[in-house]
Amino acid sequence: MVAPIRVLTAVPICDGHDSAINTINLEFIRHGIEVIYLGYHRSVGDIVRAAIQEDVRAIGISSYNGGHVEFFAEVVDLLRKRGASDIKVFGGGGGTITHKDATKMERQGVDQIFFAGTSLTEMTDYVRKHYGKPRRRTAAKSSDMELARKLTEIEEAHAKGKRRTAKQIRNPQSAIRNPKVIGFTGPGGAGKTTLIDELVLRVLNRNPRARIAILSHDPSVVGEGALLGDRATMINSQNDRVFMRSMATRGQAGGLSPATHDCLAQLAQSKFDYVIIETVGTGQEAMPFQENGIVDLTVLVMNPDYGSRLQLQKIVMLDLADIVVVNKSDLQRARTAHSEIEQRLEQNRRGQQLIDTVAKRHRDPGVDRLFDLISADRAR
């Protein structure tokens, strides 16, 4: 099996038109491409940082607000300055990008501009033909780029049925900081990504030197693509002290990728204070962190609308999590949910922590309490 093509798609700053790019994303996925979607209103710096960390083959930009000649040129220029000219740029903008504009943009280094009326098949065929070939690498110019390439090597090895050994992963010249590894899991829509983003904000504010790595997972099927969209809801994590890698499950059940453990071992060789793993939205049976030593702390995020008490008896992660978070605790059923989950946890007799949060709320005291718990042994 060959590792899928990975591309990053985004909409520029001051442009909120995402209907077209969402349609294109879905078509790419149907044809086996993994799409890291950065969302709309994204700056040049955000796009280039994400593309380097994700080690994508190309960046696709959908621009409908004008200013495309300058914006695309700045993306290409910043990629060159950061030694990432192997990451190509393509895009489109319906009727807003003229043929004259496209000619100028291509002279500036843009690979391809798709005009209104271009079929989705034509776009997909172009991406598969031009970005599915082996690329010529230059020397990595930054630690983020070097790390991103190592993670790609690990994923590609797994795609070929090979697992890298600890000796292959280890970097003897790195200063190992023994990062605290925290696993977040829970059903889809519980607010895991927003909660993680708020915790990242607190880490960055409390410690001006701290670095954080995030491994975020989304589902896929073997031989098909995936929409890796957690970056689109990240606000505070758009920071040079945050390294984020989006991973597809590539057919593996349980919420993680086949390469997650090896990627985590690679991250442990880098200078991070925290490594956060976010699983796919999981169900009753999922136990994603059961491999020994994969995480130091497990956080299960739930929302109040899980159903009846009988449903709680079926969720195995309630027996295993160190911390259970009832997010969206401003909803009507939250108080009842807290009481039912508390009774369920008392039966385990493990001293598990139960916290109520509203992750979308600025300076939420529940998120503050969660941060204090997970950072207790990381005080500087």
For the chain (380 residues), the mean pLDDT of every run of 10, in chain order, is 90 92 96 96 97 98 95 98 97 93 98 96 97 89 96 93 60 60 93 97 96 96 86 95 96 88 92 95 75 86 89 89 96 94 94 97 97 77
Q: Could you tell me if 41 and 120 lie in one domain?
A: yes
Q: What are phi and psi of 358, to 5 degrees?
A: -130, 90
For residue 361, give its domain range. 180-374
DSSP 28: H
DSSP 8-class letter at 59:
E
Q: Report the predicted TM-score, pTM, of the whole model to 2 decimal places.
A: 0.93
Please check whether residue 66 lies inside any domain of the structure: yes
CA–CA gap between residue 42 and residue 60 (Å, rounded) = 13
306 shares a domain with 228: yes
Q: How many residues does the chain have?
A: 380
* CA–CA distance, 148 with 152 (Å, rounded to integer): 6
Same domain, 15 and 108: yes
Tell me if 68 sits within 8 A of 15, measured CB to CB: no
- Asked whether residue 103 falls in the same domain as residue 189, the answer is no
Do 87 and 195 share a structural domain? no
Claim to verify: residue 327 and residue 194 sit in the same structural domain: yes
The reported pLDDT for the residue numbered 284 is 65
Per-residue pLDDT at 1: 61
Q: Is residue 306 part of a domain?
A: yes
Residue that is last in its domain, among 111, 131, 151 = 131
| Cα–Cα distance, 228 to 212 (Å, whole number) | 19
Q: How far is CA 95 from CA 66, 101, 132, 261, 323, in A?
A: 10, 11, 28, 46, 51
pLDDT of 380 reads 40
pLDDT, position 377: 66
Q: Say if CB 342 and CB 329 are below 8 A apart.
A: no
For residue 328, being part of any structural domain is answered with yes
Q: Quick one: angle between helices 143-159 and 260-267, nearest 10?
A: 160
14: left (phi over 0), alpha (psi -120 to 50) or beta: left
Residue 276, in any domain of the structure = yes
Q: Which residues contact 261 (CB under 8 A, 6 or more apart)?
A: 291, 294
Question: pLDDT of 120-171, one tens digit each?
Answer: 999 999 999 999 998 888 889 999 999 999 999 999 999 888 776 554 555 4
Among 91, 111, 131, residue at a domain's last position? 131
Which residue type does 171 have? Answer: N
- Contact of 353 with 323, CB cutoff 8 Å: yes
Tell me, yes or no, whether 144 lies in a domain: no
CATH number of the domain that 69 lies in?
3.40.50.280
Domain membership of residue 303 (yes or no) is: yes
Q: How many domains does the chain have?
A: 2
- 36 within a domain of the structure (yes/no): yes
Let me know whether 307 and 204 are in one domain. yes
Asked if 195 and 301 sit in the same domain, the reply is yes
Q: Would you call 285 exposed, middle or buried from its count of C-beta atoms within 10 A (0-12, 13-18, 19+)? A: exposed
- The last residue of one of the domains, among 71, 105, 131, is 131
Q: Are residues 107 and 227 in the same domain?
A: no
The reported pLDDT for the residue numbered 222 is 67
Maximum Cα interatomic distance, the chain, rounded to a whole number of Å: 70
In a domain, 167, yes or no: no
For residues 368 and 306, membership in a common domain is answered with yes
Which H or E element spans position 92?
A: strand 88-92
The answer on 231 and 327 residing in a single domain is: yes
Residues 127 and 235 placed together within one structural domain of the fold:
no
Give the CATH number for residue 195: 3.40.50.300
> In what side-by-side order are the strands of the sheet with 58-62?
112-114, 88-92, 58-62, 6-10, 34-37, 226-228
In angstroms, the CA 206 to CA 189 distance is 28
CA 191, CA 360: separation in Å to the nearest integer?
Answer: 9
